[in-house]
Amino acid sequence: MEAVILTIITASTPLLLAAIGELVVERSGVLNLGVEGMMVMGAVSAFGAAYVTGSASIGIVAGIAGGMFMGFLFAVMTQTFIANQVATGLALTLLGLGISGLIGESFVGVPGVKLMQLHIPFLTDLPYVGKIFFGQDILVYTSIALIFGVTYVLFKTRTGLIIRAVGGNHNSAHALGYNVVRVRYGTILFGGACAGLAGAYLSLAYTPQWVENMTAGRGWIALALVVFASWLPRRLMVGAYLFGMVWIMGLYVQALGFGIPSQLLSSLPYLVTIVALVVISQNRVLTKINSPAMIGQPFVPDR
């Protein structure tokens, strides 16, 4: 049982990291469909930097930088040049997948640098709960800290109020003197950093190696998780671990040898994503209450 819980945590962490960044982006009124591209660039950047330097810490920093670079490209296109956000996000994903494949070609089959788990004397050695609560790597704890940090900032600080105001009505926020474009640049870069961190987790902790397209659609699931959570960080944590559990359960069922096609089991996380979105879409009241009114709409200052 302990091993199952540990694998669920590792499967859920990249989803949680990518989704919390996208939640902040969407709260500011921006829809970035390029999460997958930012994640895969974070993964290859982290693996390459860790391999060259031998340091997983430097790999994490490189992963964040790779994700932020892709986020910056998206911000320039959509906030400065007012390009269509949906088309730009899709292009960003395709660009990230292509460039990461090119950069990572020489890393295929090369052993990576693994991000080690923490070991706290006595606590980590506790039976049943020690490894689960006190023996994870630093990025697992970072993902949980981000949930509480983002919740506090969004709903308890002036910065969060400004972000939500920009996402609720960017024209009114602009009339009050807030720099809408600057706020959205900041949230997009934050989202890119989180997506890059999620990619770094994949190539340094989840499977310390580089495989082309190793994100395997996790960026799209992270996007769905934001809607699943109704744009609320606390629900996002529950959703991420739920989807991680579905992901791992499919692998365990395959290992047990049940007569279920492996292709069907591999598609379970995506099927659950579709079903969850259909169910949520039926509750229009809940969706309208928390959904940023300006999401996906470009902002052009009139003065």
Sign of the torsion angle spanned by Cα atoms 258, 263, 269, 274: negative
Residue 30 lies in a domain: yes
Domain extent, residue 266, equals 2-290
Does residue 30 contact residue 184 with C-beta atoms inside 8 Å? yes
Residue 142 lies in a domain: yes
Residue 77 lies in a domain: yes
Residue 299 lies in a domain: no
Residue 301 lies in a domain: no
Rounded Cα gap, residues 119 and 290, in angstroms: 40
pLDDT for res 243 = 86
Q: Number of structural domains, the chain?
A: 1
Digit-coded pLDDT (tens) for 108-135: 989 999 999 988 888 888 888 888 888 9
Rounded Cα gap, residues 213 and 101, in angstroms: 7
Q: Is the full-model pTM beyond 0.85?
A: yes
Residue 164 lies in a domain: yes
Does residue 163 contact residue 24 with C-beta atoms inside 8 Å? yes
Residue 68 lies in a domain: yes
Residue 298 lies in a domain: no
Q: What CATH number is associated with residue 233?
A: 1.10.3470
Read off the pLDDT of each residue in 265-285 and give the average, rounded to a whole number: 74
Summary count for the chain: helices (H), strands (E): 14, 0
Percent of the chain with pLDDT over 90: 68
Digit-coded pLDDT (tens) for 281-302: 676 666 667 789 999 999 987 6
